[in-house]
Amino acid sequence: MSSRLPNMNRKVVMANRPVGLPKLSDFAIVEAPIPEPKNGEMLVRAHYLSADPLQRYRMDAVSGYGKVLAEGDVLKGRLVGEVVQSRHPDYKVGDFVEGMLGWQEYAISDGSTKRAEYAPGIARVDPKIAPISTSLGILGFPGVTAYFALLEICKPKAGETVVISSAAGAVGSLAGQIAKIMGARVVGLTSTQDKLDWITGELGFDVGINYRTTPDLLAALKQAAPNKIDAHFDNVGGDISDTILQHMAWHSRIALVGNMSRSDKTDRPPRMEYQQYLMSSRVLMQGFIVYDYEDRADEARRAIAGWLREGKIKYRETVVDGFENAPAAFISVMTGGNIGKQLVRLVK
């Protein structure tokens, strides 16, 4: 072991299975010796951890898809970091990689590139293209999600109206900007004035609606989209989605991307009977899981990196410093504390 490394590794584990919104007491930080890479492996030091809503799904006893955690397991989570020891022929000390290596300061990778279904496969990160933190946000899985869910399911055409929920988040803020690039009119839903100012100012969304304070969301949608809604990029589900459904245009499209409105719920409130709306308006509703596009992820990254270079898209990061603050950063995402991508910085 290199003398420059500390002795111990810290990991965030699930101490208790959360009910509804996670609490700090649902997490614990444990220490273990830093592992030694075997032949064909490398040791990665995390620079940033990614706080993602998907981590919450893995903490449920049963999830819609993919494995769930047992109490005491290291939190599933992405990190970007630097190779600090290598016994892998293709990676050298100083290389940067990103992957689902768990919420810990040091992680072993065998260099696998299998990333679907929460596999710990890694991808190389080139710090010359963009800051390494973007590999967890705009150039990472949130970016790939925004790109393909929008272009393959919402399919916005010039002049159409697209509604995006969680519009100031990592995925939503990019999806809205890509829809603008496609020539669509974009309506974003979010929860604070800061976020509304950002999406309608710097990001160029046409309308922002505060779904928490608007007394009548349907009336606000009718005003924002007088010709009805052609595509809904649905990050939240629940009542918000049911309301939007009532104002969808004929032959419109809905991408089911996330379910944030469930994050603080412990029961299953009754949903609207939506069959009639879908049928009479000939709406296409399709579920989206980013792993179905893993083979095409580079296509999305190249396009997004190009738009970034041309100044056509902007991004923001909400950065919390310190490993011990990772659970709080995760809870903050679940309660809307983030603008853009929520990160935990471990190395400055």
Ligand X SMILES: NC(=O)c1ccc[n+]([C@@H]2O[C@H](COP(=O)([O-])OP(=O)(O)OC[C@H]3O[C@@H](n4cnc5c(N)ncnc54)[C@H](OP(=O)(O)O)[C@@H]3O)[C@@H](O)[C@H]2O)c1
Residues engaged in binding ligand X (CB under 6 A):
52-54, 141-142, 145, 166, 168-172, 190-192, 195, 235-236, 257-261, 263-264, 288-290, 333, 336, 338
User: In the complex with ligand X, which residue's Cβ is closer, 135 or 235?
Assistant: 235
Sign, CA torsion 20/234/205/56: positive
Chain centroid offset of residue 101 CA = 16
Residue that the structure tokens 């490993």 belong to: 323
Six-digit token string for 179: 């829809």
Question: Which CB sits closer to ligand X, 265 or 282?
Answer: 265
Q: Shortest CA distance to 206 belongs to which of 159, 248, 249?
A: 159
Distance CA 143, CA 298 (A): 11
Shortest distance, position 40 Cβ to ligand X, whole Å: 30
Answer for the pair 236, 149: CB distance below 8 angstroms, yes or no. no
Smallest gap from Cβ 206 to ligand X, in A, equals 17
Instruction: Between 224 and 260, name the residue whose CB sits nearer to ligand X.
Output: 260
Nearer to ligand X, 133 or 263 (CB): 263
Q: To the nearest whole angstrom, how small is the minimum distance from the Cβ of residue 91 to ligand X?
A: 27
Q: Report CA Rg, the chain.
A: 20
| Shortest separation between residue 170's beta carbon and ligand X, angstroms | 3
Nearer to ligand X, 95 or 317 (CB): 317
Is 109 or 165 the residue whose CB approaches ligand X more closely? 165
Give me the least distance between CB of 36 and ligand X, in Å please. 33
Helices (H) and strands (E) counted in the chain, each on its own, are 9, 15
Smallest distance, Å, CB 79 to ligand X?
A: 15
Q: Are 343 and 137 in contact (CB under 8 A)?
A: yes
Residue closer to ligand X by CB (options 108, 221) is 221
Q: Which of 101, 104, 146 is nearest to 125 (CA)?
A: 101
Least distance to ligand X from the beta carbon of 342, Å? 6
Would you give the distance in Å from CA 38 to the centre of its chain?
32
Nearer to ligand X, 171 or 346 (CB): 171
Cβ distance to ligand X smaller for residue 54 or 125: 54
The answer to whether the beta carbons of residues 98 and 125 sit under 8 Å apart is yes
Q: Are 124 and 111 in contact (CB under 8 A)?
A: no
How would you label 289-324 residue by residue, b for 16+ Cβ within 10 Å and e otherwise? bbbebbeebeebbebbbebbeeeebbbbbbebeebe
CB 231 within 8 A of CB 252: yes
Nearest distance from residue 198's CB to ligand X, in Å?
Answer: 11
Q: How far is the CB of 343 from ligand X (least distance, A)?
A: 11
CA distance 187 to 166: 11
- Label residue 336 left, alpha or beta by phi (over 0 means left) and psi (-120 to 50 means alpha): left
